[in-house]
Structure 1
Amino acid sequence: MITRTLRADEVAGLAPHLLELQRHAYRVEAALIGDDRIPPLHESLQDLVSAKLHWVVTFDGDRIAGALGYSVEGGAVDIDRLMIDPRYHRRGLGSSLVTEVMSLEPRTIVATGRENAPARALYEALGFTHDADIEPVAGLWVSQYSRHSIDSTGAVADEPR
């Protein structure tokens, strides 16, 4: 398997495959949390492309096994979506993709369904801290996480020395 960052022109060409993966992955999350109102589950191809995300993708031959879409703003990587093909669950792809982007900025943030125990365990195992639970839509609970990078001196990047 090969993991690499997509160029902007590649995103448009691979968008139908990313959208298919997104629907498969978020159907799994919807089942875990008991709610199918997860926004990426209902996106169109245009919605996905217009999100203007950076993408890191793991390929197994020609197949996309996993993908992570993120943005960078204000010294933080915001993981917008992490999608693993259900056929590739439990192989470390999620950890690998998240680790790939964590070093880009001093802080990394992410949100997942509060009842999505596998995703929460993944982020906690990678050193993310649970910050809050929010209810963006009535009855749909999301857990927010953040992780601060540690520099070569051992100091947390966002803490004063």
Structure 2
Amino acid sequence: MIESLQHKKDNTAREIIAVQQPAYIKEAELIGFDGIPALQEKTKDIQASHEQFAGYRKDGKLIGVISYEKNMHHLTICRLVVHPGGFRKGIGRALLQFVIDQNKDAEKIEVVTAEKNTPAMSLYTQAGFQKAETVEAAEGLLLSVFYLYPKRKVEVVPYNEKWAELFSEEKERLKLVFGPEIIAVHHIGSTSIPNMAAKPIIDILIEVRRIEAVSQYDTQMKAIGYTPKGENGAAGRRYFQKGGNKRTHHLHMYEKGNPAIERHLLLRDYLRAHPAIANEYVNLKKRLAAQHPDSINQYIQGKDDWIKAAEENAKRWKEGGNNADRNVVCYNSENDGNGGLTL
């Protein structure tokens, strides 16, 4: 059984030391290097750590430990140790998967191990990690740096009435950050269209007085969970993501008068006014999500034909010349290069 460990407690810290000491002794023998820093750790060092710990217990006894640190959506595995009595029983793999599953918002997971530690090298490779580089940590000691970039799942869920409430709450947070720079805040994307199934991501469009002023608020945006992405493929825009790999919000910011503002709002209003067309789009999204559950890019590419006709259909509807009822296109910010919406 795997559980989170309260490593600040004396008994738990001693249990962790009792697992990692013999594990690191075996590793030192394997790699021919006895200067592993963790070999010198005492109970007080474990208690003073800022890492998060999890452990594998069998019959109540701790036999495996993993710890990690997390900075925004970048997770670093600090230690993964199994008592020699638990070797080759899948305990290390189970602990690694536990951490991955508990941090679904992680966009990047990093781990470092000795190149001569072949069991660890094999473990990370089989788990999908890619070797990024080799570094020399000490004479005769080479370390391999591995990265894992978890894939985002494509998920289309039924309409949720709480989406409007989530938008309103986030709107107030953003107003506190940007203050008088804001002219207007709009709920856009599929979550803004009643009864439309969507990826559960709140898209927000903010009109500002000066787009050049937005970057000075990046630190405050990070403090409330957003990642600044700059223009991110759309000239004149400032784009932010929240939630990492388990995305919750997209924020698109434009200076007043930018034609993208009208384009996005017009598309939203067009789908609100044409439930039958919106339903066609829902069916397309569900089909693509089922076909490409692990590839957001293929999901997006499957909607290219809609994208080509979107603006023209909405424009004709606005002008009253042709109330187009087919081939509606929706922009999608999941494609970081196209500068669109979560539709």
TM norm structure 2: 0.43
- Per the alignment, in what secondary structure is the counterpart of residue 133 of structure 1? strand
Is the 8 Å Cα contact of residues 67 and 97 (structure 1) preserved in structure 2? yes
Does 1:76 find its partner at 2:74?
Answer: yes
Shift of 1:24: 0.7
State how far apart, in whole Å, the 1-side matches of 2:120 and 2:144 are: 10
2: CA distance, partners of 1:88 / 1:34: 22
Structure 2 residue aligned with 1:67, among 65, 68, 71?
65
Structure 2 residue aligned with 1:46, among 39, 44, 47? 44
Contact 2:21 2:39 in 1 (8 A): yes
AA paired with 1:125? Q
Q: Which deviations, in whole Å up to 9, do the C-alpha atoms of 1:103-129 show, x marking residues without a partner? A: 411211101111000000000000000
Does structure 1 conserve the Cα–Cα contact (< 8 Å) formed by 2:7 and 2:46?
no
Deviations 1:8-58 (A, max 9, x none): 55x543111111211111111111101111111111222222122111111
Deviation at residue 140 of structure 1 after TM alignment: 1.9
The whole-number CA distance in structure 2 between the counterparts of 1:136 and 1:76 is 22
Distance 1:140 1:106, change over 3 A: same
> Retained in 1: the 8 A contact 2:5–2:12?
no
Bigger drift between 67-76 and 111-120 goes to: 67-76
Which stretches in structure 2 are left out of the alignment for 5+ residues? 155-294, 298-334, 338-343
Structure with the bigger RCO (C-alpha within 8 Å, sep 6+) is: 1
Q: What secondary structure is seen at the aligned counterpart in 1 of 2:28?
A: helix
Larger relative helix fraction:
2
The answer to whether the 8 A contact 1:66-1:93 is kept is yes
How many positions carry a matched residue from both structures?
157
> Which consecutive segments of 4 or more residues in structure 1 shift more than 4 A?
none
What is the distance in 1 between the residues matched to 2:79 and 2:131?
Answer: 17
DSSP 3-state at the match of 2:55: strand
Q: Please tell me whether the aligned partners of residues 53 and 71 of structure 1 are also in contact (alpha carbons under 8 angstroms).
A: yes
Report if aligned partners of 2:10, 2:43 keep a CA contact under 8 Å in 1.
Answer: no
Secondary structure of 1:96's partner? helix
CA contact (8 A) 2:7 2:47 kept: no
Contact 2:75 2:110 in 1 (8 A): yes
% of aligned pairs identical? 25
Q: What TM-score do you get using the length of structure 1 for normalisation?
A: 0.89
Q: Which is worse superposed, 147-156 or 98-107?
A: 147-156
Q: 1:97 aligns with which of 79, 95, 98?
A: 95
Query: In structure 2, how many angstroms separate the alpha carbons of the residues matched to 1:88 and 1:13?
Result: 21
- In structure 2, do the counterparts of structure 1 residues 155 and 140 end up closer, same or farther at CA, with 3 Å as the change threshold? farther
Q: Distance in 1 between matches of 2:58 and 2:336?
A: 43
* Higher percent of residues as strand: 1
Q: Which residue of 1 aligns with 2:2?
A: 3
RMSD, matched Cα: 1.8
Query: Is residue 126 of structure 2 the alignment partner of residue 128 of structure 1?
Result: no
Match of 1:113 in 2: 114
Provide, for residues 74-123 of structure 1, a one-character-per-residue CA deviation record: whole Å limited to 9, x for no partner: 31221100010111111111011001112411211101111000000000
